[in-house]
Each structure stands twice: as structure tokens, then as C-alpha cells.
């Protein structure tokens, strides 16, 4: 019996246009857990919708979602939903 493949990221937030409160909470999670939470945004200087960026790092979208355990969807989240992720990552 084989083990499940280890994913590169526990949580990826790759959608653009999150509500400002969600974005702030996700940013805090990403800052606190930079190796587990990947918060992406539009890449500066391009209108290419098939890439997302964090700082100077460019990631192919939607492929990056395949190497994550969970994708954070703003439509499913709420303030309490983001808080649940904080408790999950800490615990």
C-alpha cells in the first residue's frame, strides 16, 4: 500500500479580488507560515491570467492548485473560516 503524495503547499489562495478583510487574514497566515500557505496575486506588468505571483516568484495558474492540499475560495470563506485555518495550522 502506498502513501498519499505529499503536496508542496497546504493552502493556496490563488484567486484575485478577495475581499480586503479576507486578503488581510490570508496575508497574516502566509506571513506566519510561508512554507505552508501560498497567497498569490496578479503579476505586475502583465495581463496574462494564466500566471499568479508572490513577490518576484511566478506560478503557473491553475497548475499551482494541483500541488496544494486545499485551495482557499473566498466564496466559501468567512471571517470565522479564515480563523479556522489559523487554528488548523497552529495545531
Q: Using one digit for the tens of pLDDT, what is the confidence trace for 34-77?
A: 999 999 999 999 999 999 999 999 999 989 988 888 777 654 44
Percent of the chain with pLDDT over 70: 73
Domain boundaries, the chain: 9-86
pTM summary value: 0.73
Give the pLDDT of residue 79. Answer: 47
Give the pLDDT of residue 37. Answer: 92
CA distances from 54 to 21, 78, 79, 90 (A): 19, 23, 23, 22
Percentage helix, strand, coil, to 5, in the chain? 35, 25, 45
In whole angstroms, give the CA distance from residue 79 to residue 67: 25
Average pLDDT, the chain: 79
Amino acid at each position: 500500500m502506498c502513501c498519499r503524495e505529499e503536496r508542496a503547499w497546504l493552502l493556496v489562495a490563488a484567486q484575485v479580488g478577495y475581499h480586503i478583510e479576507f486578503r488581510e487574514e490570508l496575508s497574516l497566515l502566509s506571513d506566519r507560515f510561508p512554507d505552508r500557505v501560498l497567497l498569490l496575486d496578479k503579476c505586475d506588468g502583465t495581463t496574462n491570467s494564466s500566471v499568479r505571483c508572490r513577490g518576484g516568484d511566478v506560478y503557473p495558474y491553475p497548475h499551482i492548485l494541483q500541488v496544494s492540499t486545499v485551495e482557499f475560495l473566498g466564496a466559501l470563506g468567512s471571517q470565522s473560516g479564515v480563523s479556522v485555518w489559523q487554528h488548523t495550522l497552529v495545531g
